[in-house]
Amino acid sequence: MGFRTVVMLSNDMCHEWQKDAELGNKIALAMNYTGDPLRQDMARIGGYGRAVECTHADCQTLAMLDGYTAFTHIDSQSWMRGDGDDTAVVRLLKSAAKKLGYRLVKQPAA
C-alpha cells in the first residue's frame, strides 16, 4: 500500500487553480512539508491552497478542517481488517475523546 496526500483548495480561487498547468508539480512539492512545523509555508500551493496531510494509505485520520487551509489533526489510527465505517469512526472518536480527557458513551436505546 502506498501513501495519500490530502490537499485543501479554495473554491473562491478555482478560476486560478483550474487553469494551473503546474498544479500537480506544486502539490508534489508541497506534500513533502505537511508535517514540518518550521516549513509550513512550503506546504502552500500557490495562493489558493495547501497540502495538509501526507500519510500512509492505511492510516485513518480524524481531523478538523477550517477556513481554506486550516487542518487540525485530532487523531489517527491504522486501518483494521474487518472494521466497517461505523466501527472505525467510533474507534477514532473514542480515542480522540480519551486524549482530550473525555469518555465517549453510547446513549441507551429507547
Grid cell of 53 as nine digits: 496531510
Model pLDDT for residues 1-12, shown as the tens digit of each residue: 699 999 999 999
Q: Is the dihedral of CA 82, 88, 90, 96 positive or negative?
A: positive
User: In the chain, what is the straight-line distance between the N-terminal and C-terminal CA atoms, in Å?
Assistant: 42
pTM of the shown model: 0.82
Quickly state the pLDDT bin for 78 (edges 50, 70, 90). Answer: confident
Long-range contacts of 66-70 (CB under 8 A, 24+ apart): 68/8, 68/9, 68/10, 68/12, 69/8, 69/10, 69/44
Query: Is the confidence at residue 103, as pLDDT, over 70?
Result: yes
The string of pLDDT tens digits covering residues 24-77 is 999 999 999 998 888 989 999 989 999 999 999 889 999 999 988 889 999 988
